[in-house]
Amino acid sequence: MRLSRYFLPVLKENPAEAQIVSHRYMLRAGMIKQQAAGIYSWLPLGYRVLKRIEQIVHEEQVRAGHIPLLMPTLQPADLWRESGRYDDYGQEMLRIKDRQDREMLYGPTNEEMITDIFRAHVSSYKDLPLTLYHIQWKFRDEMRPRFGVMRGREFLMKDGYNFDVDRASALHAYNRHMVSYLRTYERMGLTAIPMRADSGPIGGDDTHEFLVLAATGESEVFFDSAVTELKLGNRAVDYDNRDEVAGVCKEFTTLYARTDETHDEALFNAIPEERRKVARGIEVGQIFYFGTKYSEAMGATVVTADGSKVPVEMGSHGIGVSRLLGAIIEASHDDKGIIWPEGVTPFPVGIVNLKQGDGAADAACEGLYKALAAKGLEALYDDRDERAGAKFATMDLIGLPWRITVGPRGLANGVVEVTSRRTGVSEEMSPEAAVDRIAQIYAEI
Ligand code: ATP
Ligand code: MG
C-alpha cells in the first residue's frame, strides 16, 4: 500500500476523551472513529488488525477441530423466553420491535440460538462430539462504555459452543478450548494467564478467564509470578488425545492465579513471598463448562449408545476479538506510539523514502516494495512528499514492527537501513539483504 493513496487519518493532538493509552493511540493512528457511545467505525488501519486477529482465532479454532458457522446479530425474544434469560438479562440487552410488533433483541451472546440449531438437527451420540463457533458482533448496553474498544457496547466476539454426550467428553472440550486459547494469544504476542474465575450458581472449577496483565485492566488479579514464565510455544498438541490436552491444562493451571472473585487469601499466602503478585488484568477470554443448563431448558437431547435419551452436555467459550486490539496496545507501546507484535501487525514493514522525487531513492523504494510483495509481504510505503521527521513520527505512531529507510546518502554506498520498532536498533545492509531479513522474520512466526 502506498501511503499517498491510503486512508490514514492520523491525529496530531491527543484526543481529550481518551483516558488510556490504547484508546488514545487507536484514535491518533486513525484506526477507529466513535459513532455513538461504545460504538465504533473501524477505519482501514484498525480494520486490518481486526481481520488479522480474527484470522488467528479462526486458524486456532479449526486446528482444535472446531467448526465455524455464522448466526445473525438479531434474535427472536421467544428463544430467550425458553431459557428464562429474556427476563433475567436486564438492561444490558438491547430490545427491539419489528414492524409486525414482534419482539427481537440484538444478541449479547448465543447459547439459546446455538441450542436451537443443535436440537433441530442432532439427536444421536453418533454425531458427537461437536463444537460450533462464530465470530460475530454482539451488543451489550453497558452502563459505562469506556476505554474505546475495550468496553464497547457493540463489540466483536468469538463464541464457541461444545456439545458432548457426557461430562468427561465435555471437560475434554473445555480443555481443548483452554489449549487453543493459549496458542491464540501467544500468536498475538500476548501473555494471557488462565485464572480460576467465578462460575456463579453452577459451582466447581469449571470456568477460567484469560487475563492480560496491564495497569489499566479492570480486574484485580492474584498470582504466583512463576505463572507468567509458562509458554506453550510451538509444541505439537494432539487435540484428540484427552490425557495430553489435560496435561497441558494442568501445567498452566496448577500455579496460583485467580481473579478477585475466587481469590483465597490462605492459599495465596502459601506462595513464597517474592513470587506473590497482586496486579490488574484485562479479560480477553473466558471458557465455561455448564453441563445441561440450556439443553434441559430447551429440550436438546441425544440418544446414547445404550439407547437412553439424555440432555446434551454443553459449554461456551468466548474471545473478545475487538477488545484484543486494546489489550495488545496496552501491553505493547512506548511514548511514541504502538508497537505491533509481528503476528497481528497491519503491515509487516514500512518503507520510508527520505527524499521523495530523488530518482535513485524512488527507484530503490519501488524495487523494495515489489520484492517484498513477491515474497507475500505487503509493505506500507510512505511515498508522500513530507519531511523525514514527519514520516518517522507516523511510522512510530502506527507501530509497524520493522522499517526500511531509504535515502540518497545510503544508496550511494549501496545500503538501506532496517530498524526494529521495538528496540530502535538500526542496521545498514543492501536492499536485497533487507528484503531477505524481513522475509526471514515473517517466515518464523
Ligand atoms: P466483562 O466482565 O469484561 O464485562 P464478560 O465476562 O461479561 O466481560 P463474556 O460474556 O465472558 O464477557 O464475553 C467473552 C469475552 O468478550 C470477554 O472475555 C471479553 O474479552 C469480551 N467482552 C465482553 N464484554 C465486552 C465489551 N463490552 N466490549 C468489548 N469486549 C467485551
Ligand atoms: Mg467473562
Is residue 32 in a domain?
Answer: yes
Within this chain, do residues 387 and 316 fall inside the same structural domain, yes or no?
A: no
Establish whether residue 281 lines the binding site of ligand 1, counting it when its CB lies within 6 angstroms of any ligand atom: no
Which ligand number lies closest to the CA of residue 197? 2
Is residue 23 in a domain?
Answer: yes
Q: Of 309, 338, 367, which residue sits at a domain end?
A: 338
Q: Of 338, 371, 402, which residue sits at a domain end?
A: 338
Please say whether the dihedral angle defined by the alpha carbons of residues 387, 390, 393 and 398, taken in this order, is positive or negative: negative
pLDDT of residue 445: 87
Establish whether residue 151 lines the binding site of ligand 1, counting it when its CB lies within 6 angstroms of any ligand atom: yes
Is residue 393 in a domain?
Answer: yes
Within this chain, do residues 333 and 355 fall inside the same structural domain, yes or no?
A: no
Note whether 80 and 112 are within 8 A (CB): yes
Within this chain, do residues 378 and 236 fall inside the same structural domain, yes or no?
A: no
Pairwise CA distance, residues 195 & 282, whole Å: 12
Is residue 344 in a domain?
Answer: no
Within this chain, do residues 192 and 77 fall inside the same structural domain, yes or no?
A: yes
Within this chain, do residues 261 and 404 fall inside the same structural domain, yes or no?
A: no
Is residue 173 in a domain?
Answer: yes
Note whether 106 and 135 are within 8 A (CB): no
In the sheet that holds 402-406, the strands lie side by side as 380-382, 350-353, 402-406, 416-420, 426-429
Which pTM was predicted? 0.97
Pairwise CA distance, residues 317 & 247, whole Å: 20
Which ligand number lies closest to the CA of residue 282? 1
Q: Which of 143, 156, 283, 322 is the best mutation target for the ligand 1 pocket, counting ligand atoms within 8 Å of the beta carbon and taking the most?
A: 283
The domain that holds 368 is classified in CATH as: 3.40.50.800
Within this chain, do residues 246 and 388 fall inside the same structural domain, yes or no?
A: no
Within this chain, do residues 190 and 307 fall inside the same structural domain, yes or no?
A: yes
Within this chain, do residues 368 and 221 fall inside the same structural domain, yes or no?
A: no
Note whether 203 and 261 are within 8 A (CB): no
Establish whether residue 286 lines the binding site of ligand 1, counting it when its CB lies within 6 angstroms of any ligand atom: yes
Is residue 343 in a domain?
Answer: no
CA of 424 to the centre of ligand 2 (A): 37
Within this chain, do residues 408 and 438 fall inside the same structural domain, yes or no?
A: yes
Within this chain, do residues 368 and 303 fall inside the same structural domain, yes or no?
A: no
The domain that holds 307 is classified in CATH as: 3.30.930.10
Pairwise CA distance, residues 277 & 352, whole Å: 43
Q: Which of 88, 94, 221, 323 is the best mutation target for the ligand 1 pocket, counting ligand atoms within 8 Å of the beta carbon and taking the most?
A: 323
Within this chain, do residues 74 and 185 fall inside the same structural domain, yes or no?
A: yes
User: Which structural domain, as residue segments, surrounds residue 429?
Assistant: 349-443
Which pLDDT tens digits describe the chain residue by residue (445 residues)? 999 999 999 998 899 999 999 999 999 999 999 999 999 999 999 999 999 999 999 999 999 999 999 999 999 999 999 999 999 999 999 999 999 999 999 999 999 999 999 999 999 999 999 999 999 999 999 999 999 999 999 999 999 999 999 999 999 999 999 999 999 999 999 999 999 998 765 555 589 999 999 999 999 999 999 999 999 999 999 999 999 999 999 999 999 999 999 999 999 999 999 999 999 999 999 999 999 999 999 999 999 999 999 999 999 999 999 999 999 999 999 999 999 999 999 999 999 999 999 999 999 999 999 999 999 999 999 999 999 999 999 999 999 999 999 999 999 999 999 999 999 999 999 999 999 999 999 999 8
Q: Which of 157, 280, 316, 317 is the best mutation target for the ligand 1 pocket, counting ligand atoms within 8 Å of the beta carbon and taking the most?
A: 157
Pairwise CA distance, residues 12 & 428, whole Å: 30
Q: Which atom of ligand 1 is nearest to the CA of 140?
A: 27
Domains held by the chain: number:
2
pLDDT of residue 200: 65
Pairwise CA distance, residues 400 & 335, whole Å: 15
Within this chain, do residues 123 and 175 fall inside the same structural domain, yes or no?
A: yes
Which ligand number lies closest to the CA of residue 140? 1
Is residue 252 in a domain?
Answer: yes
Q: Of 290, 306, 338, which residue sits at a domain end?
A: 338
Is residue 328 in a domain?
Answer: yes
